[in-house]
Amino acid sequence: MSEQVVPEFQHRTVLLDEAVDALAIAGARADGIYVDGTFGRGGHSRRILEKLGQRGRLLAFDKDPQAIATAGTIVDPRFEIVHDSFATMAQALQQRNIAQVDGVLLDLGISSPQVDDASRGFSFRADGPLDMRMDTTRGMSAAAWLASADEKLIGKVIREYGEERFAVQIAKAIVAGRAIQPISSTRQLAQIVANAVKTREKGKDPATRTFQAIRIYINQELEELEIGLDKAFRQMALQGRLVVISFHSLEDRIVKQFMASKAKLPQPDRRLPIRAVDLPQPELKLLARIKPSDAEVSENPRARSAIMRVGERLAGSPSAASAPSGAGQ
């Protein structure tokens, strides 16, 4: 059965200009190779293509079939879309004989069209099937997982990925609820959580953290982020830029720690006679930490939690200096 493409929902790309500007696509770099690891509805990709030179190249990734359908409307020989996670970029680049890239942009989380489309099951604001898969062509839905997972695992997921202090109570309520009838809709799950959470955060629905946790777990978002950051860094040419936009603390913590570890100056053994010129150098230079402006948040409230971190690849690794960008094309 073919995937049905639903009408496009409105989407505003967060930190559009700031993110693309951070890639520094200018001069000789305009003919470089770039990766948009999260195509979404193509806001960043289209802006990157505007800045690319005639010999430039953009490889984009997305797991969402609807995003892939949108990407199909871009007719540009410099552009290619891959229906897969950005965590697979190393294999995808190797298949295309691309040794190195000049920049990688990751805009994490879910897009507005995914949230606003009730049929996707990401939001409790409208009733819909409890799916939550970013790639609806593969994997287990949230409903299927909740029907089979044990109480201990459900509680662990909600606690660790949702940072929910009532995780144990919610897990018990879910198991009790599914014994009466299958939990197959977003409204059912939201109501179960609401009944289990006695103290509510001001201005936040009690189901927010639980929905976030299950979505992250179902899509393996944090695991893919860790893999993707490592793969992106390994593929980065010297002076290549890594630009990552995150929307919650779990994502940002991983990005921050990864960049900090690469920017840290290795400490040599002080007992050894090492000349200053031979001292090891950091592999990454931290360039910026940027949040949306008040004006952007006013126009797009979903941007308020965004944090963008930017790093530049330094001559810290033999693999980075072994080949020029795009070698082997």
pLDDT at 113: 79
In this structure, the dihedral spanned by the alpha carbons of residues 320, 324, 325 and 329, taken in order and rounded to 10 degrees, is -130
pLDDT at 294: 95
Of 316 and 287, the structure prediction assigns the larger pLDDT to 287
pLDDT at 29: 95
- Burial letters 292-318, b for 16+ CB under 10 A, else e: beeebbeebebbebbbbbbbbbbebbe
Establish whether 53 is an annotated binding residue: no
* Closest to 136 (Cα-Cα) out of 218, 251, 232: 218
Establish whether 252 is an annotated binding residue: no
Establish whether 62 is an annotated binding residue: yes
Location of structure tokens 């409890």: 130
Average pLDDT value for residue range 193-199: 90
Q: What percentage of residues in the chain have a pLDDT greater than 90?
A: 77
Measured CA distances, 138 to 86, 122, 133, 325 (Å): 16, 16, 8, 34
Establish whether 139 is an annotated binding residue: no
Dist CA 66 CA 87 (whole Å): 19
Dist CA 174 CA 156 (whole Å): 13
CATH of region 16-112+221-321: 3.40.50.150
pLDDT greater than 50 at residue 3:
no
Return the structure tokens found at 327.
Answer: 């070698």
Establish whether 39 is an annotated binding residue: no
Dist CA 282 CA 278 (whole Å): 13
The domain ranges of the chain are 16-112+221-321, 118-219
Domains 16-112+221-321 and 118-219 are alike in CATH topology: no
Establish whether 107 is an annotated binding residue: yes
Helix (H) or strand (E) holding 80: strand 79-83
Q: Please report the DSSP string for 195-206 in residue order.
A: HH--S--TTS-T
pLDDT interval class at 136 (50, 70, 90) = very high
Segment among 53-57, 200-204, 304-308, 323-327 with least mean pLDDT: 323-327
Mapped onto helix, strand or coil, the DSSP state of residue 146 is helix
CATH of region 118-219: 1.10.150.170
Establish whether 32 is an annotated binding residue: no
